[in-house]
Amino acid sequence: MEKDLGYRRVQCAGRGSLSISLPKDWAKDVGIEKGSEITFKVREDSSLILVPRKIMEGRKETEKPKLREYWIYVDQKSDIQSICRRITSLYVVSADLIHVRFKDSEIYQKSKTAMENLVKNALLGSEIIDETSKEITIQILINHPDFPIEKAIRRMAGLALSANKDVILALKNMDQGLIQSVIDAHAIVERLDLYVIRQLKFGLEHNLFKDWGFRTAKEFLGYRIIVNDIKSIADNALNIANNIRMLKKLIDDKMLYLKESVDEEAYIKLLNFNSLANQLLEETLRAMFERDYESADKTISQLESFIALENDLTTLMSSKKLDPNVSSIHRLLLDSSRRIAEYSRNIAEVTLNRTVEEISSMPSS
């Protein structure tokens, strides 16, 4: 209930600063005295709210959210991989604490390593904070202000495209170092993917779209599509890396003899095609983050040229007398580059959908 305390005149306090006295009765009621601190908050209508610091801190303490805790019980019949998948699902749905309780120490010993690896390698921002032979407690410590979604997606995209470039370069000389870099990048992308999904679910559940810089809650769905496409780029790169490893093993075991692992003409054209696809995705992501409708629309128009390039490459590779193992990897690389172009279209369409109302709401002059 509001109480009218009348008007007070604003006065000059020196050096251009302005001051106003506080109502004496109000100050006494809330415990304001010399040296007390007051929080100022501006509302949408430009009115000002004054809240004494001790009241504000009391509110924060009262409003402190309760941790979301879950329990998993493990016995002799439990499958450890199934338990790890359940932990991962709880992580994604924004659990804060996950308690894994064991029926006996023997089960604990069998499960311990798998859970430690899961926390270390898959669940970004999580730590085992307590461990006994009866229970392991996992706490998720990271939150949105520490690592915003946009920053996580940029990191995902950089790693996925890097893996895509490395796997093409790895084919030339069967480079084990480049293959390992693809494997490492894929693992990080998977961790970031789970983290972003977790944050998107949390933000949607708590209606935080404005706090996180979104215009509407519908944009959560668009970001979900984007991270899925970016993860697919890393998945494709890993699949090709595994195929290259298998090819190298055949050669090392002398089960296959190759004079050259690639056809130079086809390889150069594949490199160029992939580079164009990567560039298109980077431009599409920039348009998405900057809410640039025109740039997103332009990238969709550019996709027509990729169809012609893909057809030319397909014809060229068909004309080459390549070993079937090498030919299959060339086609995987071509397919991966084409998919990157398709993902660019998906992301561009997300950008169009999230910005079309903004550019269509004002009449042209």
- pLDDT confidence of residue 47: 81
Asked if 104 and 128 count as a contact pair (C-beta separation under 8 A), the reply is no
Band the pLDDT of 28: cuts 50, 70, 90. Answer: confident
- pLDDT confidence of residue 6: 76
The CATH number of the domain holding residue 110 is 3.30.110.20
With respect to residue 3, please indicate whether it lies within any of the assigned structural domains: no
Shared domain check, 220 and 99: no
Tokens, residue 10? 């604003």
With respect to residue 364, please indicate whether it lies within any of the assigned structural domains: no
Shared domain check, 52 and 128: no
Shared domain check, 157 and 121: no
The residue that leads in pLDDT, 296 or 38, is 296
- pLDDT confidence of residue 15: 64
Shared domain check, 208 and 339: yes
Shared domain check, 75 and 26: no
Shared domain check, 233 and 112: no
Shared domain check, 172 and 302: yes
Tokens, residue 275? 């580079």
Q: Which domain holds residue 322?
A: 149-359
Give tens-digit pLDDT for 338-360: 999 999 999 999 999 989 988 88
With respect to residue 119, please indicate whether it lies within any of the assigned structural domains: yes
Question: What is the rounded average pLDDT of the residues 197-217?
Answer: 87
Asked if 261 and 326 count as a contact pair (C-beta separation under 8 A), the reply is yes
Give tens-digit pLDDT for 50-72: 888 877 776 555 455 678 899 99
Shared domain check, 275 and 172: yes
- pLDDT confidence of residue 344: 95
Other residues' Cβ atoms within 10 Å of the Cβ of residue 281: 24
Q: Is the per-residue pLDDT at 135 higher than 90?
A: yes
Radius of gyration of the chain (CA): 29
Tokens, residue 189? 């992308």
Angle between helix 264-289 and helix 324-360 axes, rounded to 10 deg: 20
Query: Which of 15-19, 88-92, 317-321 is predicted with the least confidence, judged by mean pLDDT?
Result: 15-19
Shared domain check, 222 and 89: no
Q: Is the per-residue pLDDT at 282 higher than 90?
A: yes
- Closest C-alpha among 276, 270, 277 to residue 332: 270
**Phi (first) and psi of residue 18, to 5 degrees:** -110, 150
Give tens-digit pLDDT for 139-195: 998 776 778 899 999 999 999 999 999 999 998 888 899 999 999 999 999 999 999
Contacts of 189 (CB under 8 A, 6+ apart): 156, 159, 160, 163, 230, 231, 234
CA triplet 73, 119, 139: central angle to 5 degrees? Answer: 70
Shared domain check, 353 and 333: yes
Band the pLDDT of 256: cuts 50, 70, 90. Answer: confident
Shared domain check, 308 and 240: yes
- pLDDT confidence of residue 362: 58
Would you say the C-alpha torsion 27, 28, 30, 36 has a positive or negative sign?
A: positive
**Distance between alpha carbon 351 and the CA centroid of its chain, in Å?**
17
Q: Is the per-residue pLDDT at 2 higher than 70?
A: no
Of 140, 169, 192, which marks where a domain is finished?
A: 140
Other residues' Cβ atoms within 10 Å of the Cβ of residue 180: 14
Highest averaged pLDDT of the listed ranges 137-151, 253-267, 306-320, 335-349: 335-349
Question: What is the rounded average pLDDT of the residues 246-255?
Answer: 86
Where does 106-265 show beta strands of DSSP type E?
A: 126-131, 135-140
- Closest C-alpha among 63, 230, 237, 90 to residue 149: 230
- Tell me which amino acid residue 266 is: A
- pLDDT confidence of residue 287: 95
- pLDDT confidence of residue 65: 64
Q: How far apart are CA 354 and CA 292, in angstroms?
A: 10
Angle between helix 149-173 and helix 264-289 axes, rounded to 10 deg: 180
Band the pLDDT of 320: cuts 50, 70, 90. Answer: confident
Query: Which of 87-91, 237-241, 320-324 is predicted with the least confidence, judged by mean pLDDT?
Result: 320-324
Tokens, residue 356? 């079309």
